[in-house]
Structure 1
Amino acid sequence: MKAALFLSTLLATASAFTAPMAAKPSTALSSSLDGAIGLTVETGRKCPPLGAKILEGTGPEALAWFENAELKHGRIAMVATIGFMVQKYGVHFPLYLGPSGSNVFHPTVTSGDWMLSSSSGVTFSDIAAAAPLDAVKMVPAGGWLQILFVAGWFECVAYQRQYNEGGRVPGDYGYDPLGFTKREGGLDSPQLKSLRVKEIKNGRIAMLAISGWVANEVIPGALPVWHP
């Protein structure tokens, strides 16, 4: 069961990387490819051969698509690594404000815990005590539908800003509550360019880390290095 879940996750992730292709090669892309912000000292400041081959015959919109995809996957992976460690180490934040005594939504539950699913009798305490992948499987179908709905809504908004409005820096979805992009130079300022590179690097590490940790959960011993 775990192996099937892991394989389906990999297939879903791979299908998300189907980039739009242009009909003819673009000289504009080849001239700007090695100047992409994600190409740092680790890559020799050049696009790796495999990446160049994938982007061969495409236009600048394909490069922007891949840059956005990498940033989004990296951000999700960074959140996932934190969540994995919190779940693995059993860290519980003192924010519980649930009812005391028996639970009116599910009379058989007398702990007074908040219910995650009243139909299945799963409480938030049950989720907190479970292993990371077991906790994922305990989320009811309604919960996953809510997650997919919010993710789909975000993708629609992101697509509108990134591709229909044009001229957007990859990763800029208009949400900036701290006002970093409103400072002098915006996302093209030296300070924010440095932070953008750091974000890409941390995202890449996080994607490798969470992949290794999940593989080790599915196949114990698959990751022969330290892991939570």
Structure 2
Amino acid sequence: MRLLLTSAGIKNASIHDALVDLLGKPVGEANALCIPTAAYAMPGGVGSAWRFISGRSVISLCEVGWKSLGVLELTALPSLGEELWLPSVREADVLLAGGGDALYLCHWMRQSGLAELLPSLRETVYVGASAGSMVMAPSIGKDFSESYAWKPPTGDDGALGMVDFSIFPHLDHENLPDNAMANAQKWAAGIPRPGYAIDDETAIKVTDGSVEVVSEGHWKLFAP
């Protein structure tokens, strides 16, 4: 699976070009499924999920001109037969995972069976924003997990481990003072692996294990 891990979606031409490169075709020829699940575990999550799906969110993923767009709600999948949703996932060119609570998203990726399925989707592009990117790491870091109201059954900050680094999104965002560089440094000191702090103009492109930072903003790689 090819990954484009962003802080806030397709925010500039460089990130858009990276997406097209991963897709191997224009965005307007690609079929997408969006995953709003992470939003529901946050205050005001019902409205956030609607804004994400309808393209009215601060995260830019659903409104970039896809050929088609569907909604993949992970909390519904365990109650459905796979024949009702699996073909749509396999046929999609891209999965779009939005922001919210990364541990809640991780839980439902596992419960729904999507986490187990993802490695087999070798031609699919996964685009994450905020929590949708953080969930791909081995862990999100206790600084984030302790700030979430929802607590996973495991009680820890573990995530999917589909990449070997962690992500601190929204670096130095003017409306998120807790995401300042000083706090990113503190977060990085608490994780036993590389950590990328990225702003909303930055993305991490992962192709066959090769990692490339695409940015028109600023970012920092912290060594473990």
The TM-score range, normalised by the shorter chain, is: under 0.3
Superposition TM-score, scaled by structure 2 size:
0.22
Which structure has more relative contact order (CA 8 Å, sep 6+)? It is: 2
Superposition TM-score, scaled by structure 1 size:
0.22
User: In terms of Rg, which structure is larger?
Assistant: 1
Greater share of helix: 1
